[in-house]
Structures are given as C-alpha cells and as structure tokens.
Amino acid sequence: MSDGDTPMIRPSVPAADRLIGVKRPVLSHGFVVLVDYMGSDAAIVQAARVSYGPGTKTLRDDRGLIRYLLRHRHTTPFEMVELKFLIRLPIYVARQIVRHRTASLNEFSQRYSIVPDEFDLPPVQDIRRQSTRSRQGRAEPLPREVAERFRSDLQHVSHDAYAAYSAALEAGVARETARMILPLAYYTQWYWKIDLWNLLHFLSLRLDTHTQEETRLYAAELAKAVQAICPIAYEAFEDFVLGSVSLSGKERRAIRSLLEGATPEKACADAGLPLTREDGKSMTTGEGVEFLEKLERIRAPG
C-alpha cells in the first residue's frame, strides 16, 4: 500500500472468475456455487507487507512469504481474503458444517417456504457396516441385499414423510410445524461466507478421512475454489497442513527410539504408547495405534 493517491483496483483471478455462478454438483441433489470472492494471493502479501510500503518483490518472494506465513501460523494476512458460496446440501451434512461457527450463513427457511421434495439417496457402495474402531464412521461394505433394503426403506420413509408433510400443509398446519415430519435426508441450502484462514481450518478437518464421506465431497468442492483464487496459499496449505504429521511429546520420544534402532513396538513401549490392553489383546484405538498409523503415512509415497 502506498499513498492515498494510488488508485485501488479490485483484484481479479481469471481461474476464479470462471467458477462464479457455476453449479458444481454434489450428491444426488446438492451443489456448491462460488458466488463471489474478495482478495487473492496478492491480498495476503499486501496485508503482510503493509508496514514496509511498496516494493519490487518478485513472485518468488511472494510465494516464499506466503509459505512462511502459513508455516508459522501468522493468520491475519489470510483473513484478508473472503469467499462466499451458495450451497445446497442434505440436512444431515448441514448439521456437521454449521458447527464451524467462524462462517456467516443465511439458510433457506422452512418456516417461510415449502420444502422441495428432494432427499439424498446414497448409492449401494456407500452403505456400509458400522466401524468397530470409530463410533461415528463406516467400515467394509454390507451384503448388497442389506444395502438395497436400506435404500428402499429410505425411499419409502421419505416419500411417506413428504406425503404427510404435504397433507399437513393442505390441512392448514403452519409450515414451521409441518416441517418437523421431514427426515434428515431432505435438502436445505444457504449462503455461506468465510475468510480464507478459517476456511483452510475447515478444510483441514473436513477433508480428513475421519470425516463423513458426504461432507468430504462438499469440502473438496470448496477446496477447488480456494485453489483457483489463492493457488500459492493453497499449495502451502497442502504442504504444511494436509501433508504434515504432528507429533506429541511421547511420539517424539518414540521417534528417537526408532532412530536408535528400536522396532516400532519397542519404540512405543519406550515412549509409553500402549499397543495392548490389560487383558493382553491388541488395541484398535489409542495413542500407540495412532502413532503407528502416522509412521505408515510417513512411509507412504507421495
């Protein structure tokens, strides 16, 4: 930023401009639309260098600065960039995303409007067993007949619920009351605005494999918009957040044992990271198991 006589020009990123207004389909009836954005990689750099005035920095210098800022969690410059989306999503996904309270949202009102007859119907391959390792996740596929029965039940329940909803409206029941009968599979939509730093935090959680698959699909579409608007910042995010592995104090001690030649099991024992329960059975969750998973991630190519 220089003196007040310098004209202010709204930055435009051609790759991002091509996304504005484009419906990116997600699930059976959902979508993500980039409505607008403010700022780009240049805005991050401008905010970080405000104390120094104008200069002749190169693109390489800008890239290095953005990577430094993200690597050291200097958040404010990233907050200078904002993105606004229109998102149509099932209510059960919306309930996960709304937990990220750093976004501003305005949701379709089922009190004012009649809900469209659209519900999510997952494909057979996405209907799987409850995970034995996670209370909130899925594991291996179910027999096809079980999955198809669930899909059939979901269709019947949804159709019956919507018929009851429509009948209630025709009978004069207020919309705010009639909506109670609709399942979580029905869709809602909202405008969702968030700054870049908080969106990157959202993506760090919702692109993770522990997140419900349907929510990850929405996060992936949001990530594409970020990548178009701020490609340098997103590259840094991939390197220093998505591609990183954090280590606790105990895990660092285990790494030292590994470097000294210990086996992974011995390293866990040395660091106090248990792998077996009191009854002698192998643990399926816990700090020790998670440390071994981190080792596998480090070993994996790419």
Q: Report yes or no on 192 lying in a domain.
A: yes
Tell me the three state secondary structure of residue 250: helix
Number of domains in the chain: 3
Q: Which CATH number goes with the domain that contains 78?
A: 3.30.1360.170
**pLDDT per residue as tens digits for the range 162-198:** 999 999 999 999 999 999 999 999 999 999 999 999 9
Verify that 231 and 108 share a domain, yes or no. Answer: yes
CB 291 within 8 A of CB 251: yes
Question: What average pLDDT does this structure show over 94-110?
Answer: 93
Question: What average pLDDT does this structure show over 79-94?
Answer: 97
CB 156 within 8 A of CB 180: no
Q: What is the DSSP string of 41-63?
A: HHHHHHHHTTTT------HHHHH
Distances (CA, A) of 91 to 30, 97, 146, 188: 11, 10, 24, 6
Reply yes or no on whether the pLDDT at 4 is more than 80: no
Verify that 67 and 89 share a domain, yes or no. Answer: yes
pLDDT at 7: 67
Question: What average pLDDT does this structure show over 31-40?
Answer: 97
Percent of the chain with pLDDT over 70: 93
Question: What average pLDDT does this structure show over 47-60?
Answer: 66
Verify that 26 and 143 share a domain, yes or no. Answer: no
Verify that 41 and 86 share a domain, yes or no. Answer: yes
Reply yes or no on whether the pLDDT at 1 is more than 70: no
Question: What average pLDDT does this structure show over 264-284?
Answer: 91
Verify that 24 and 103 share a domain, yes or no. Answer: yes
Q: Band of the pLDDT at 45, cuts 50, 70, 90? A: very high
The three-point CA angle 237-239-245 to 5° equals 105
175 in active site: no
Backbone angles phi, psi at 121, to 5 degrees: -130, 100
Among 31-45, 128-142, 186-200, name the one with the lowest average pLDDT.
128-142
**pLDDT per residue as tens digits for the range 196-228:** 999 999 999 999 988 999 999 999 999 999 999
Verify that 91 and 148 share a domain, yes or no. Answer: no
Verify that 101 and 197 share a domain, yes or no. Answer: yes
Residue that is written with structure tokens 């594991």 in the block: 139
pLDDT at 50: 79
**pLDDT per residue as tens digits for the range 148-163:** 999 999 999 999 999 9
Residues linked to residue 188 through DSSP beta bridges, in sequence order = 89
Tokens of 292: 């071994």
Residue that is written with structure tokens 């599979």 in the block: 185
Q: Tell me the average pLDDT of the chain.
A: 91
Q: Which of 73, 179, 206, 256 is catalytic?
A: 206
- Give the closest residue to 38 by CA, choosing from 79, 68, 3: 79
Range of the domain at 62: 14-112+185-242
Q: Band of the pLDDT at 132, cuts 50, 70, 90? A: confident
Verify that 134 and 62 share a domain, yes or no. Answer: no
Reply yes or no on whether the pLDDT at 10 is more than 60: yes
Among 48-62, 101-115, 259-273, 275-289, name the one with the lowest average pLDDT.
48-62
Q: Band of the pLDDT at 56, cuts 50, 70, 90? A: very low
pTM of the model: 0.89
Q: Report yes or no on 1 lying in a domain.
A: no
Q: Report yes or no on 194 lying in a domain.
A: yes
